[in-house]
Amino acid sequence: MPTGYTHDVSEGKITDVKDYIMQCARAFGATIMMRDEPLGTPIPEFEPSTYSKNAIEKARERLKELQCMSNDEIEAQTEGEYQSELKRKKKYAQEKLETKNRYTKMLVDVYAWQAPTSDHGKLKQFCIDQLKESIKWDCDNMEGYYNPESVKKQTAQEWLNSNIERCLRDIEYHSKEWEKEVERTNERNLWVKQLRDSFN
């Protein structure tokens, strides 16, 4: 039975070793991003992902915005983010409380259920364990992370400093990532070029 890579050989659609090897090359690192493309799609010259490059620009633009903000704008941003975070924590705390109540009600109902046989008792215990695990992972940290009282209001200067630091970290991180992406892309293209050159 042919594989996805040998199907065209078995059908007589691929008869040249170059075409077969280029098709199989998709299973390797340099062309792995093409694994979901149709097998007949030619292997292109790869271009670096622009994600990090765009992130650098975005962070630089944000840094310029921050440096140009008036004190009133900084105060307004600080207050706006504080109120938004309070609202978000309150919403999540309410959702987690409702989830815990649903789990707890179901747990009480499962405990009350009479399993018809000992074999069904294993199902009952499984149901109980699933609910307890879900309560543990979904709800037990409600008092900490989702507590609106855990939101600390920054001063305007703290807000500004933390945002500037975030921009500088993003610029540094994405600059390194962009260099890595360009290097990876060059290596991929070299691998494909060397493969193509091997057929000459």
Q: How many other β-carbons are positioned within 10 Å of the β-carbon of residue 178?
A: 19
Q: Which residues contact 97 (CB under 8 A, 6 or more apart)?
A: 142
Helices (H), 113-153: 118-139
Out of 3-17, 56-70, 96-110, least confident range: 3-17
| Mean pLDDT over each residue of the chain, to the nearest integer | 92
pLDDT digits (tens, 9 = 90+) for 47-86: 999 999 999 999 999 999 999 999 999 999 999 999 999 9
Residue with tokens 């494909």: 192
Average pLDDT score over residue span 30-37: 83
Sketch the domain layout of the chain as residue ranges.
7-48+185-197, 51-183
pLDDT surpassing 70 at residue 41 = yes
What global pTM score does this model have?
0.72
Please give the structure tokens belonging to residue 119.
């074999």
Q: In this predicted model, which residue has the larger pLDDT, 184 or 93? A: 184
Give residue 9's pLDDT band: very low, low, confident or very high (50, 70, 90).
confident
pLDDT of the residue at 143: 67
Q: In this predicted model, which residue has the larger pLDDT, 198 or 32? A: 198
DSSP code of 33?
A: G
